[in-house]
Amino acid sequence: MNNNIELHGKMIISGYRNGAKFRPSAWSEMLSDMAAEFDSRHHLIYAPFLRPAYTEQYGHAVEVDFDELRKQRPDVYKQVLAFIASNHLELYTPDGQRVYYEEPNSSDSSHTEAA
């Protein structure tokens, strides 16, 4: 999938799309697993820049620092962007402002607008 989206900074990938829950509910853990590692006791440890969360406002969600994710795991960064775009997921800043992005296959260059 050709993906022209570029995202920066800390954001929350919401578990809702147009008011409906995104399924399956374990999607946030599955997405976060992509950058997780096992510790010496064989426990899965989520990366601080890509981890699942649950809130009343966003449901099952993912907290992500796109700058750190791109720096530490550029391959996972691209996969996360493709997942967001292909599933039309909503993004929010930590203070709750909606972040809009252009979908892949747009005729002009994609960008992020955070108010």
Residue 40 belongs to a domain with what CATH number? 3.30.70.2340
**Is 112 within a domain?**
no
**Is 3 within a domain?**
no
Q: What is the pLDDT of residue 3?
A: 58
pLDDT per residue over 25-84, tens digit each? 899 999 999 999 999 999 999 999 999 999 999 999 999 999 999 999 999 999 999 999
What is the extent of the structural domain holding 28? Answer: 10-102
How many folded domains does the chain comprise?
1
Residues 30 and 13: their CA atoms lie apart, in Å, by 13
- 5 band by pLDDT with thresholds 50, 70 and 90: confident
Query: Could you tell me which of 73, 65, 71, 84 has the C-alpha nearest to residue 4?
Result: 84
**Is 113 within a domain?**
no
**Is 34 within a domain?**
yes
**Is 107 within a domain?**
no
**Is 35 within a domain?**
yes
**Is 1 within a domain?**
no
**Is 4 within a domain?**
no
DSSP string, 52-114: EEEETTTEEEEEEEHHHHHHH-HHHHHHHHHHHHHHT--EE-TTS-EEEEPPTT-SS---EEE
